[in-house]
A = this chain, B = another copy of it.
Amino acid sequence: MQIRTDLAIEMKEVFEESRNSTSINGVEVENKEFEDCKITIVEIKTDEGSQIMNKDKGKYITIESKLMRYDDEESREKMIEYVKNELINIFGTDKHKTTLIIGLGNWNITPDALGPKTVSKTLITRHIFKSYHKDYDDDFSEVAGLSPGVMGITGIETGEIVKSLVDIIHPDRVIAIDALASRRMDRVNSTIQISTSGITPGKGVGNARMTLNKENLGVDVIAIGVPTVVDAATLTTDVLEIAIDNLIQQSNENDSFYNLLKNIKDDEKYQLIKESLDPYDKNLIVTPKDIDEEIENAAIIISEALNRTLHPGRI
């Protein structure tokens, strides 16, 4: 499967399109519909489901809403509350727990800067707890944070850096924020995925590294991501598919060509396009022009939802 996406709901779509089926063994789906927001919870429960979805077992909550595209206070406030509610479902409200927040991605590349931007806006409190020798506070919980930068910046595997931090500060959980790749432009900067199954830094850019998950870090890992790009090959594949469907509808079933078209495999189409985009394919991305503002808005929403969840006493 060559469609590049980090979203569980898109893996499910891809599977369903190829099988003309809407249920996957070992995968449970729950939908919540609101006036201005749609929340889909995909839970991968079995190894079979994991293999089909090409995703680790765990919960994947997708919050989709056009509210993320508007920059007024009211829309933002609504989004923050939607995200906060889902975070509380996962985190609970135990203020004794300590958290390490990791901003993944490269702050020098706008669409990859979501993680560092979000961490910089999240209230860090661990040093204050340490200064006052407190273990517990009614209004705030203990939070540390780091945006290590990608491997090209540090020369060190991000997973190794995070592991070593976990070993010295012993948090109860790690929250990792990252920019994701989507298959569809209409999900870019209007979707937030929260998952309990960990995250692999650099997976989106084709350099898979040590996964940040409970197995590797020894503590719960919650990943929060927003798709900020579609890669150019994925976009053109999807556009080509629509175009070919249109051609098929215009053609005659008795033509040999009709069958030729019918038999073009997804993989072949993708290969064809990749070749025509070569030698840039790996680094060619499609983004909205105002990506800077959209990333900023997404970082505000996620950091504020985290602040309200982790620090309930903060005004």
Contacts and interface: CB of A to CB of B under 8 A. Distances in A.
Contacts of A292: 108-110
A155 B246 CA distance: 43
Interface string A216-249: 0000000000000000100110111011001100
Contacts of A276: 238-239, 242-243
State the copy count for this chain: 4
A252 interface: yes
Contacts of A238: 276
Interface in A256-315: 256-258, 260-261, 269, 272-273, 276-277, 280, 283-293, 315
A208 interface: no
Contacts of A290: 109, 283
Contacts of A120: 153
A230 to B, nearest CB: 9
Contact of A168 (B111, B160, B272): B160
A284 B236 CA distance: 13
Given A242-B276, A284-B185, A289 B252 contact: no
A126 interface: yes
A185 B152 contact: no
A235 B240 CA distance: 12
Interface string A28-59: 00000000000000000000000000000000
A23 interface: no
A293 B147 CA distance: 20
A71 to B, nearest CB: 12
Nearest to A147: B149
Contacts of A164: 164-165, 167-168
A127 interface: yes
Contacts of A201: none
Contacts of A247: 257, 260-261
A280 B186 contact: yes
A138 interface: no
Given A144-B155, A260-B250, A280 B288 contact: yes
A146 interface: yes
Contacts of A108: 292-293
A231 to B, nearest CB: 10
Contact of A257 (B73, B147, B257): B257
Contacts of A315: 72-74
Interface of A: 72-74, 108-112, 120, 124-128, 142-149, 151-157, 160-161, 163-165, 167-169, 185-186, 205, 232, 235-236, 238-240, 242-243, 246-247, 250-252, 255-258, 260-261, 269, 272-273, 276-277, 280, 283-293, 315
A-B interface, 8 closest residue pairs, ranked by CB to CB distance from nearest: A126-B155, A257-B257, A144-B155, A164-B164, A124-B155, A283-B289, A255-B257, A236-B239
Given A110-B292, A242-B276, 16 more contacts: A109-B290, A124-B153, A128-B155, A144-B154, A144-B155, A145-B153, A156-B169, A236-B240, A239-B273, A242-B272, A243-B272, A243-B276, A251-B260, A283-B288, A284-B287, A286-B286
